[in-house]
Amino acid sequence: MGRVENKVAIITGAASGLGLASAQRLAEEGAKVVMTDINVEQGIAAAANIKGAVFIQHDVTSEQAWEGLVNKVVADFGCLDILLNCAGIVQLASIENTSEELWRKINAVGTDGTFFGCKHAVRVMKEQHSGSIINMCSTASIQGGPQIFAYAASKSAIRGMTKSIACLSSQEGYGFRCNSVHPGNMSTPMLHGMMDIVRAHDPKTAAEMDGIWVGQPIDIANMVLFLASDESASVNGAEMVVDNTVTITEGVVPKH
């Protein structure tokens, strides 16, 4: 018997990185995983290697797409037990060079995508009187950063949404939970892409960043598994930081 045996999960941004690792981990523990992403080729290939997983093309920025996805999953599987809002994009820019277009682009995926996903999961989970919504935040929502202005703002919005949804469920007796996960730097294509840009434009900052702890996707997948399972039945509205002390030591982690 797996830790999430027969639970039905939707994971967005599941073609890569933390979403993919979480899909693998939940499936290993018995969940039926619906993997979604805009990267169709990579998503189909990833799902083919995961037992019991299916891939559905889905752009999180559209509420209409969310409504259709959640309705399809409930029609096909009978319920929705777990939603992991993991899709996200990052682009380095301070407030001084964040255009309206960049602001809207990052927030469309992170903020709007998570809002729509939560809204439609709440609709279903409230009726079921059960479920676990997990929102992928970041330590950026705790610390900010000079060159991640829009990204940190979006992750902070997600942090706030998470707590408001958890409070609503608790107050109204809806019976589902909502928590956020806050990874530090994790070894994924997103981080590698960002570091390539930093290295090209600012070698000094890149050298400093190279000294900071970097975790593995499995570290986050294990936290997601805990929050998805009934083991975390009393955890609601929490922010689970997975960063090996980086936020509380300002990045100064002994290198051994």
Ligand X SMILES: NC(=O)c1ccc[n+]([C@@H]2O[C@H](COP(=O)([O-])OP(=O)(O)OC[C@H]3O[C@@H](n4cnc5c(N)ncnc54)[C@H](O)[C@@H]3O)[C@@H](O)[C@H]2O)c1
For position 37 contacting ligand X by CB under 6 A, the verdict is: yes
Q: Per residue, what are the HEC states of 6-18? A: CCEEEECCCCCHH
- Cα–Cα distance for residue pair 168/144, rounded to 1 Å: 27
Query: Going by DSSP bridges, is the β-strand pair 177-183/8-11 parallel, antiparallel, or unpaired?
Result: unpaired
78: left (phi over 0), alpha (psi -120 to 50) or beta: left
Contact set for ligand X, span 116-155 (CB under 6 A): 136, 138
Please tell me whether residue 169 binds ligand X under the rule CB under 6 A. Answer: no
Tell me which stretch binds ligand X (CB under 6 A): 22-30, 56-64, 70-78, 164-172: 56-64
Tokens at 19, concatenated: 């979403």
Q: Which stretch binds ligand X (CB under 6 A): 69-77, 81-89, 201-209, 228-236?
A: 81-89
| Cβ 137 to ligand X shortest distance, Å | 7
Out of 28, 59, 63, 219, name the contact with ligand X by CB under 6 A.
59
Question: Which residues are CB-contacts of 202 (< 8 A; sequence separation ≥ 6)?
Answer: none
Active site annotation includes 151: yes
Tokens of 228: 């998805």
Least distance (Å) between residue 142 CB and ligand X:
11
User: Given 55, 115, 149, 151, which residue is catalytic?
Assistant: 151
Q: Which amino acid is at 35?
A: M
Residue 18 contacts ligand X per CB under 6 A: yes
89 binds ligand X (CB under 6 A): yes
Site size toward ligand X, by CB under 6 A: 28
Helix runs in the chain, H state only: 17-28, 40-48, 63-77, 100-107, 113-128, 140-143, 149-172, 189-201, 203-210, 217-228, 246-249
- Taking CB under 6 A as the criterion, the residue among 52, 78, 189, 211 binding ligand X is 189
Residue with the shortest CB distance to ligand X? 17
Residue 88 binds to ligand X (criterion: CB under 6 A) = yes
Place of tokens 């950026």: 140
- If binding is defined by CB under 6 A, does position 109 make contact with ligand X? yes
Residues that bind ligand X in the complex, under the rule CB under 6 A: 12-13, 15-19, 37-39, 59-61, 86-90, 109, 136, 138, 183, 185-186, 188-191
Residues catalogued as catalytic:
151
